[in-house]
Amino acid sequence: MAANKHYVSNKDETIRIFKNNLLEKLTIVHPVTPLVIFVPVVLYHLSLGQNILVGFLSGLIFWTAFEYFLHRYFFHWVPDNNLGKKMHFLFHGIHHDYPRDSKRLVMPPAVAIGLSALLYYFVFKTFLPAGYLHSFFAGFMTGYLCYDMTHFAIHHFNFKSKWFIWVRNHHYQHHYDDCAKNFGVSSPIWDYIMQSRYKKK
Q: Alpha helix (H) ranges present in 30-176? A: 33-48, 52-70, 82-88, 94-97, 109-119, 125-127, 130-156, 162-176
153-177 pLDDT per residue, tens: 999 999 999 999 999 999 999 999 9
Whole-model pTM?
Answer: 0.94
The pLDDT of residue 2 is above 70: no
The pLDDT of residue 48 is above 70: yes
What confidence score (pLDDT) does residue 142 get? 98
Domain borders along the chain are 21-160
Instruction: Find the helix or strand (DSSP H, E) in which 120 lies.
Output: none
Averaged pLDDT of the chain:
94
| Tally of CA atoms within 13 A in the half-sphere of 94 that contains its CB | 21
Burial class (CB in 10 A: 0-12, 13-18, 19+), 183: buried
User: Which residues are within 8 A (CB) of 185 and not within 5 positions of it... i.e. 6 or more apart?
Assistant: 67, 71, 147, 150, 151, 154, 167, 171
